[in-house]
């Protein structure tokens, strides 16, 4: 009973993808192995585990059965060989880049990224002698030029749909291009989730998630993960992960497994509500522009239709005015919670220029298309009438 079948549909994988029930007790919910260390059978067993000549657990910074179950589950959903859990999405990204790049190397990053990833690119990596070249990845020629100019270029990283502009990048075209130059390709799939988009199927090498978001779905955990082939994961474990300690906690893994069981249902509800919000805003007189990959007005709508099975739960828009008007909108909402993060059941609203993307200089924000009056909504799964009423009353106050 309980064997993983790779041919299962995505909703079945979301529930059973971590494998059989606990072999010791039959517990259907994966037990939380809240232990830091694991007792060896004897001295030789300990030595064999350390030498990699026996399979088993040593210490939860390296691996833990609850975290393993989550890793199997996310790998199954993304269609990859193996997963790895991390303390946060940023820990996942940092480990992936540090596995591919050492001092003197460089990588290419899309210029429109989560603010923390941008900060890692421009502030953290140079401290280790690693250079990130940020480029408009909607233009393949610019990406190819950047790859050609970069010294010891090892990797291409991008997110699609991108935070916060919701621009959509062509996973297959970018991957094919990067592979011509032997680069590893990592896609941040946080906004789409494996329910709507599976980058490994388009040839990408690594998928990254801020599992804090839709993977959890309930706003109660900070976590991250990577899905890749076994070779990459083994190299990462050996070269970076084990000795830098960005491990996922067992309780976080359990919360994520619980969240994943409902992710297909939640994503359906998020997409349906977000589509209604996008259409409502598109016709509102106080709105300058709306970005939602499902709108025909979205510049990459056709591409989004091709590479995503639905358009996600995130909507961004600009209101008449600038930075201050953007902040005013935050104070006018009542149901929506003014908060960073996204992907929760609750509707969350955010003004990126003053919060998540304040890590960009105003010039870099402009270059990345992050307007000062841009507002990002993570549309929740409340009743759509209540979400629309709230936005309507907030816009009336402006
Ligand atoms: C698209 C995206 N990637 C990565 C991250 C970083 O993840 P975490 O906050 O879990 O470290 C975030 C966080 O907001 C994000 O939105």
Per residue in 184-228, pLDDT tens?
Answer: 999 999 999 999 999 999 999 999 999 999 999 999 999 999 999
Binding site membership of 33 for ligand 1 (Cβ less than 6 Å): no
Question: pLDDT at position 20, please?
Answer: 85
The model's confidence at residue 338, banded by pLDDT at 50, 70 and 90, is very high
Nearest CA to ligand 1 atom 7: 89
Q: Is 202:307 a contact under the CB 8 Å cutoff? A: yes
Average of pLDDT values for 170-175?
A: 98
Is 188 among the catalytic positions?
yes
Q: Does domain 10-260 have CATH number 3.40.640.10?
A: yes
Binding site membership of 352 for ligand 1 (Cβ less than 6 Å): no
Exposure pattern of 122-136 as b/e (b: 16+ CB <10 Å)?
Answer: beebeeeebbbbbbb
Q: For residue 1, is pLDDT > 70?
A: no
Report the percent of the chain where pLDDT is more than 90: 87
Question: pLDDT at position 2, please?
Answer: 60
Exposure pattern of 241-265 as b/e (b: 16+ CB <10 Å)?
Answer: beeeebbbbbebbbbbbbbbbbbbe
Nearest CA to ligand 1 atom 10: 89
> Of 63-67, 111-115, 245-249, 297-301, which gets the smallest average pLDDT?
111-115
Tell me the H-state helices in the chain: 10-16, 43-51, 65-78, 89-100, 115-119, 140-149, 171-180, 193-196, 230-236, 242-244, 250-260, 263-282, 301-307, 323-332, 362-367, 384-397
CA distances from 207 to 12, 28, 113, 266, 332 (A): 21, 28, 15, 21, 37
Is 114 among the catalytic positions?
yes
Average of pLDDT values for 274-281?
A: 98
Nearest CA to ligand 1 atom 6: 89
Match domain 263-397 to its CATH number in 3.30.300.250, 1.10.10.10, 3.40.630.30, 3.90.1150.10: 3.90.1150.10
pLDDT digits (tens, 9 = 90+) for 307-321: 999 999 999 999 988
**Mutation test of ligand 1: which of 161, 163, 166, 186 has the most ligand atoms closer than 8 Å to its C-beta?**
163
Q: For residue 109, is pLDDT > 80?
A: yes
Binding site membership of 89 for ligand 1 (Cβ less than 6 Å): yes
Nearest CA to ligand 1 atom 14: 341
| Domain chopping of the chain, boundaries | 10-260, 263-397
Considering the candidates 18, 68, 107, 114, report the single residue annotated as catalytic.
114
Considering the candidates 72, 84, 184, 213, report the single residue annotated as catalytic.
213
**Of 98, 118, 166, 170, residue with least CA distance to 139:** 170
Is 344 among the catalytic positions?
no
**Mutation test of ligand 1: which of 112, 114, 164, 355 has the most ligand atoms closer than 8 Å to its C-beta?**
114
Binding site membership of 163 for ligand 1 (Cβ less than 6 Å): yes
Q: Three-state DSSP class for 168?
A: coil
How close is the Cα of 90 to the center of ligand 1, in Å?
A: 6
User: pTM (2 decimals)?
Assistant: 0.96
How close is the Cα of 162 to the center of ligand 1, in Å?
A: 11
332 vs 22 pLDDT, higher one = 332
Q: What is the mean pLDDT of the chain?
A: 96
**Of 256, 346, 294, residue with least CA distance to 69:** 256
DSSP H or E run through 317: strand 314-319
Question: pLDDT at position 360, please?
Answer: 82
Binding site membership of 112 for ligand 1 (Cβ less than 6 Å): no
pLDDT digits (tens, 9 = 90+) for 221-235: 999 999 999 999 999
Average of pLDDT values for 368-395?
A: 95
The domains spanning 10-260 and 263-397 adopt the same CATH topology: no
């Amino acid at each position: 009973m309980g064997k993983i079948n790779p041919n299962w549909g995505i909703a079945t994988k979301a529930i059973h993808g971590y494998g059989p029930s606990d072999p010791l007790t039959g517990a259907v919910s994966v037990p939380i192995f809240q232990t830091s260390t694991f007792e060896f059978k004897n001295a030789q067993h300990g030595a064999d585990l350390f030498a990699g000549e026996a399979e088993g657990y040593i210490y939860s910074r390296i691996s833990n059965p609850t975290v393993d179950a989550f890793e199997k589950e996310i790998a199954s959903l993304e269609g990859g060989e193996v997963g790895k859990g991390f303390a946060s999405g940023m820990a996942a990204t940092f480990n992936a880049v540090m596995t591919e790049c050492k001092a003197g190397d460089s990588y290419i990053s899309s210029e429109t990224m989560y603010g923390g990833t941008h900060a890692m690119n421009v502030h953290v990596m140079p401290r280790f002698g690693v250079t990130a070249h940020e480029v408009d990845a909607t233009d393949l020629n610019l990406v190819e030029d950047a790859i050609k100019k970069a010294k010891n270029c090892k990797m291409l990283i991008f997110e699609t749909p991108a935070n916060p502009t919701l621009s959509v990048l062509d996973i297959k075209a970018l991957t094919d291009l990067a592979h011509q130059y032997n680069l590893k390709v990592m896609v941040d799939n946080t906004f789409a989730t494996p329910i709507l988009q599976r980058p490994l199927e388009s040839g990408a090498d690594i998928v990254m998630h801020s599992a804090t978001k839709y993977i959890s779905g309930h706003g109660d955990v900070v976590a991250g993960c990577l899905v890749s082939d076994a070779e990459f994961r083994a190299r990462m474990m050996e070269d970076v992960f084990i000795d830098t300690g960005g491990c996922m906690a067992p309780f976080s893994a359990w919360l994520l497994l619980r969240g994943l069981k409902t992710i297909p249902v939640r994503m359906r509800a998020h997409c349906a509500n977000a589509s209604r919000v996008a259409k409502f805003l598109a016709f509102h007189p106080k709105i300058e522009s709306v970005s939602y990959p499902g709108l025909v007005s979205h510049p990459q709508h056709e591409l989004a239709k091709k590479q995503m099975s639905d358009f996600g739960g995130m909507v961004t828009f600009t209101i008449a005015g600038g930075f201050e008007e953007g902040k005013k909108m935050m104070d006018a909402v009542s149901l929506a919670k003014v908060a960073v993060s996204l992907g929760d059941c609750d509707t969350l609203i955010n003004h990126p220029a003053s919060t998540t993307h304040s890590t960009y200089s105003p010039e870099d924000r402009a270059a990345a298309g992050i307007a000062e009056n841009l507002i990002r909504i993570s549309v929740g799964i409340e009743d759509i009438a209540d979400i629309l009423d709230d936005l309507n009353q907030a816009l009336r106050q402006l």
